[in-house]
Structure 1
């Protein structure tokens, strides 16, 4: 009998019963491979790419483009194949007829699965071969491309099996179309939704939570959904990594669904056709799987939505109401009777307890998430994101290859985001321990964000985002700058050859930015190189005297598909900004000698507008009160405290008060005002007493804006 199942006669019979199915799949793969290829080749020729560039783009088409188009078509074919083969299970009459035939359920399952894979694989192979022939006719052919075509076929076949058996599993577990649709979407999106709920609770109750999905939520999101696991493996394949891991991962998930689908089909009670779920044990399982996460999600939304400080009350009310409604809807759906709305009250009570327990764990941090930090001996390396600390410094993630070309640093080397690995030291670990132990800052404006990634020797990655004080920021940045590799990366533009077109601009004490003259660039860069070798880590926590903008345009780039310019050599721009510090003795002396302006303090203000903030008790929003100071003595005190915003690093203590500086300028005006000066901050240790006194008056409502109306 097994030979008959896999016989050509059986395939012919299946084809005659569903001739539209292989035709649909064939048409789909025509568009996925040959048509897509011809369209892309036509576009490349129209844009006048060179032959070498088109070869790179064509290889990338097999590595990226065909992977996506083929995967979409494979998933569609699997879903339609599985549905058309097993949807008869929803009809009691058809199910009785099919299962009255002299075939075991195992034979029926294998017969349908085999016919389906033949309907899929034959059009796939023909159309993929046609795509290879089209490429060969245009001069794009190699054994490497043939190998990629074979890998692509295997990858898409595993995609097909994954979605096919997922579809059959859902059809075998459910008894009607509506429940089948709901459960199919549940299989695809349930665990990603759980991941989002867990991340939402972590974001709400854990001040040190890092927004990226990692750990258990990340695993649930990326690997516990037939749809999202393919997206993850698609990313891995596109990067050309871990082919065997890709194959084994998809194979394992496919085998799990295949076994589950076969067992669900073989043991399915036919008399349950038309019911919501055909297995009685699955009803409470689905009920708990739906009601508990829904209660958590609704409770979280109700907790964060109100602004009056009654989040817990609203969370309890929202969770209870949502869970009762969902529980009742499911019971009504199970039994097709509204009178069953309040059935299984014990299950509902258990769901209440489960939701309360999970919320309590997050609210009280029973897991110790907030205070956890790996032991120093177990840490392999520590990495940081400096986007908030280095707010005015822009460091490009570009590196030079061995061939002398430049390329964007691959983000996957440092994991999610733009983490920079720093050499760990006991002093650095001690600073992080102190940050973890202390009560976190409630307001970001009182400090800065510091995302941290700990990587253990076992390969585990632990992400946290701390809100640290400015004093802690200073200590940490001093320790970070002891790492010579970090400084080399930060000032990496010094290693770019001077033969490339470049420009350097200083933003310091002058009203306008100043370009460093072409004849002085070489000496300026050489002085900066020498200073970086001599200074110690404390230098990098001083108050900067200038912000240096650099721009290397049109550097030779590696030939990556996304960097190709039609008919030209690939190029990339290398630009960013770094602070210059008073401790850079040679550089500072050189710039002063040549007449460039560096920041040494504010002077000669015409007036200053200070922006105070106070809370509006009616709506809870922040109101701004602007007070203008024009008295000479007040301006003199303000000049001692003001630092331009672009020269104020996050490790310098400052008041949370913005200042707009206005200079007098003869012969130039901006409307009815003198020349615009810029925005600044007030250093905490030098804030004038009258500013602090006026700040109190603003909070008490005793001082309002005094800006004259135009």
Structure 2
């Protein structure tokens, strides 16, 4: 009977252990320091009540644990497969009487064991520690097994990613850089696309896509949220599949790889143009995103794209040619530029019909409309009261679609300065379960008629105002206050008066026009409504709530909190454009002092004019004039903004 050669080559394993066994030892020591030792130190504190509560083991020494997981698996793959990057070692290993797959199995399985065994040993120490010490306030035994499983899985995914990239390159440094790029690429490219598409696609909801848990698309970034959300069952299955694919893809590439790939940035020639154009594309988008964020004008955005493409192309060539003195391939750059121009034109002319896409009213189940994505995102997390987020009335759905149609039919500009624009966020939920989400920046004075049709409806107002969603009987106490330098408050606790006030508050809100609603939240007066379930509702006391204010004056309540002209020593008025010119690192007092020297400020101290100004001044910018209020007995200035209609004629004439 013929003898068989053992599948395991002990000499090769010894060589592997001598080369990278130290990595496993360091990894074990790092884990023991990060978890068992840290828990021991926490439990030995003498302070009474010093017990930190952790949701799971990933929250203990979270930063260090994440850093270890980011570095060790990828670093191990670099050290382990370094024999592919050094000619002498490569020739030696491949001269052994072993097939390549057998060599790969030895190295890869050894690497996986070096990652798993330290995790298992640390888990055993944690279990022993739990048995002999009182550390139950920090973790439970089942949490140890969860930590071991997730940590081992993430380690294997990162290790196989490093092995996969290592098969494609002949330089260890390049392997390290490309591996990190590779594992963050899904999340990174989504961010770059989200940032840049808003410049080309009218209505593209950048924040909506950027905040759809993008961190889940990379095992590196996913670790940030382990303390709050562990891997779901679907994520575990997904990562297992990815690890298997990367493992066998690495083996297949390794078997195809030629020995001449040693010391080459890319071991396969066909990868060079792919790599070059991918780097150029990513750096181009990064350049456009950067200059778009910094300047937000088309000339700078175009400059960012051009500079990014050129820099990316040169960097890729330098890496491929392994020299800064490169042979520049103008033809390749020309092909890339032509391809990007064609792509840009296709997106610009909306050949995919993204911009003009509108849902049919009959197919819409409900729709959300607000002034931004974060209002949609936070929903009921933004308030203590359960309030509707969507409009389901057929008339409102038709009105939102009419507004949407008007916006896409008359796009005034794709880039509007923030001070001249407002955001409109629309999210349709269709009857087939799909969503259609768009976000626009429109000029503030545009589409008033369409917005008014929506804003004036009771259904919409209930999505915006908490007080419309509670019964009057739930209110236990109503407090009116002035939000300024004076601590002025007036509270009402009588049930009859509270019921009357609730009716008046709701009535004034429901009777508001679109224009009133736009400015209703910019008020120095506030209403705090304490409910019988200990929740609080905050309502700005707008000057438009005339019925409510008249009642408060009648009951001598408003007089207790009212800001009066005698509370103010003086008011300084200047053009907002001049105010912005004197910005920089100067304080408000310094800015007004310099503007006064140049005759850009008018000072008011007449009570009649002060009364007019404080009634119309707003805290939100975007108005034509800026107002600096100097209260009596207060050193700091109160800055507000005011329109032309709120200023006496003589002041307008002096500021021309």
TM-score (norm 1): 0.71
Kept after mapping to 1: 8 A contact 2:488/2:561: no
Distance 2:469 2:239 in 1: 43
CA distance in 2 between partners of 1:304 and 1:79 (Å): 33
Residue 108 (str. 1) matches residue 103 (str. 2) = yes
Instruction: Give runs of aligned pairs for residues 203-214 of structure 1, distance below 5 A.
Output: 203-204=198-199, 208-212=203-207, 214=209
Residue 327 of structure 2 corresponds to residue 341 of structure 1: yes
What is the deviation of 1:277? Answer: 1.4
- 3-state SS in 2 of match to 1:448: strand
Identify the residue that residue 550 of structure 1 maps to in structure 2. Answer: 528
Give the match for residue 456 of structure 2: 478
Residue in structure 1 matched with residue 587 of structure 2 by the alignment:
none
- Establish whether residue 117 from structure 1 lines up as the match of residue 112 from structure 2: yes
Contact residue 208 and residue 467 of structure 1 kept, 8 A: no
Residue 81 (structure 1) shift: 2.9
SS at match of 1:214: helix
Partner of 2:444: 469
**Alignment correspondent of 1:430:** 402
Residue 96 (structure 1) aligns with = 91
Structure 1 Cα separation of the partners of residues 60 and 314 of structure 2: 45
Between 254-263 and 479-488, report the one with greater CA deviation: 479-488
By how many angstroms is 1:577 displaced?
4.8
Deviations along 1:418-462, whole A, 9 cap, x unmatched?
x95555632344334434444457344345334444455535463
Question: Which residues of 2 match residues 251-330 of structure 1 at below 5 A?
Answer: 251-298=240-287, 311=300, 314=303, 318=307, 321-322=310-311, 325-326=314-315, 328-330=317-319
Structure 1 residue 127: Cα displacement: 1.3
SS in 1 for 2:512: helix
Displacement of 1:576 in angstroms is: 4.8
- Residue 188 of structure 1: how far off its partner (Å): 3.6
Q: How does 1:506-655 map to 2 (within 5 A)?
A: 506-507=481-482, 512=486, 514-517=488-491, 520=493, 522-531=495-504, 537-539=510-512, 542=516, 547-550=525-528, 576-579=538-541, 585=547, 589=551, 592-597=554-559, 609-614=572-577, 626-628=600-602, 643-645=615-617, 655=623
Q: Alignment partner for residue 351 of structure 1, among 336, 343, 347?
A: 336
CA–CA distance in structure 2, aligned partners of residues 124 and 303 of structure 1: 45
Distance verdict in 2 for CA 1:349–1:522, change over 3 Å: same
**Whole-Å separation in 1 of the counterparts to 2:647 and 2:600:** 17
Distance 2:543 2:374 in 1: 16
Deviates more, 1:78-87 or 1:129-138: 129-138
Instruction: State the Cα distance separating 1:226 from its structure 2 match.
Output: 4.5
Find the partner of 1:681 among 642, 645, 651.
642
Matched residues, number: 623
Report Cα offsets for 1:613-633 as digits up to 9, x if no partner: 44799999999774427698x
- String of CA shifts for 1:227-271, please: whole Å, max 9, x gaps: 23x34xx53x54447721221222233233223222222211112
1:644-663 per-position Cα deviation (integer Å, ceiling 9, x unaligned): 445x889xxx9522345679
Pairs within 5 Å for 1:384-533: 384=369, 397=382, 399=384, 420-421=389-390, 423=392, 425-426=396-397, 427-440=399-412, 442-456=416-430, 457-460=432-435, 462-467=437-442, 469=444, 471=448, 475-479=453-457, 482=460, 484=462, 486-488=464-466, 498=476, 504-507=479-482, 512=486, 514-517=488-491, 520=493, 522-531=495-504
Cα displacement (A) at 1:63: 5.7
1:364: Cα distance to partner? 5.4
Aligned positions of 1:178-189 closer than 5 A:
178-189=173-184
Match of 1:171 in 2: 166
Match of 1:247, SS state, is helix
- Structure 1 vs Structure 2 CA RMSD: 5.1
The Cα shift of 1:71 comes to 4.9
- Displacement of 1:318 in angstroms is 3.4
- Cα pair distance change 1:602/1:683, threshold 3 Å: farther
1:293 Cα offset (Å): 3.0
Contact 2:428 2:437 in 1 (8 A): yes
Structure 2: 5+ residue stretches without partners? 585-590
Query: Is residue 82 of structure 1 aligned with residue 77 of structure 2?
Result: yes
Contact 2:630 2:638 in 1 (8 A): yes
Match of 2:36 in 1: 34
Q: Does 1:162 align with 2:147?
A: no
Q: Is the 8 A contact 1:376 1:429 kept in 2?
A: yes
Q: Residue 539 of structure 1: SS of its match in structure 2?
A: coil
8 A contact 1:524–1:587 mirrored in 2:
no
Residue 21 to residue 325, structure 1, CA distance change in 2 (3 Å) = closer
Q: Please report how far the alpha carbon of residue 34 of structure 1 lies from its aligned counterpart in structure 2 after TM superposition.
A: 0.5
Structure-2 separation of matches of 1:10 and 1:516? 83
Preserved contact between residue 528 and residue 584 of structure 1 (Cα < 8 Å)? no
- Give the distance between the partners of 1:539 and 1:691, measured in 2 at CA: 31
Instruction: Report 1:230-241 matches (<5 A).
Output: 230-231=222-223, 235=225, 237-240=226-229
Q: Which of 1 and 2 has higher RCO (CA within 8 Å, sep 6+)?
A: 1
Cα distance in 1 for partners of 2:556, 2:82 equals 83
Q: Distance in 1 between matches of 2:4 and 2:653?
A: 92
Q: 1:131: which partner in 2?
A: 126
Q: Contact 1:396/1:576 (CA < 8 Å) preserved in 2?
A: no
Per the alignment, in what secondary structure is the counterpart of residue 625 of structure 2? Answer: strand
How many angstroms apart in 2 are the aligned matches of 1:552 and 1:63? 39
Most deviating of 159-168 and 72-81: 72-81
Structure 1 counterpart SS, 2:457? helix
Work out whether residues 194 and 209 of structure 2, in 8 Å CA contact, stay in contact via their aligned partners in 1.
no
Which residue of 2 is the match for residue 658 of structure 1? 626
- CA distance 1:461–1:677, change in 2 (3 Å): closer
Specify which of 21, 24, 27 is matched with residue 22 of structure 1: 24
Corresponding residue for 1:150?
145
Distance 1:677 1:196, change over 3 A: closer
Query: Which residue in 2 is equivalent to 1:227?
Result: 220
Alignment of 1:688-703 (within 5 A): 698=656
* Cα pair distance change 1:264/1:307, threshold 3 Å: closer
Per-residue CA deviation, residues 109-142 of structure 1 (Å, 9 max, x unaligned), is 2222222222222221221132233234445559
Other structure's SS at 2:437 match: strand
Describe the SS at the equivalent of 2:643.
strand
- Name 1:403's counterpart in structure 2: none
How many angstroms apart in 2 are the aligned matches of 1:279 and 1:218?
36
SS at match of 1:466: strand
The 1-side partners of 2:27 and 2:638 are apart by 67
Compute the displacement of 1:8 (Å): 9.4
Tell me whether 294-303 or 78-87 shows the greater mean CA deviation.
Answer: 294-303
CA distance in 2, matches of 1:619, 1:314: 29
**CA offsets, 1:545-576, max 9 Å, x none?**
873253979x99xxxxxxxxxxxxxxxx9685
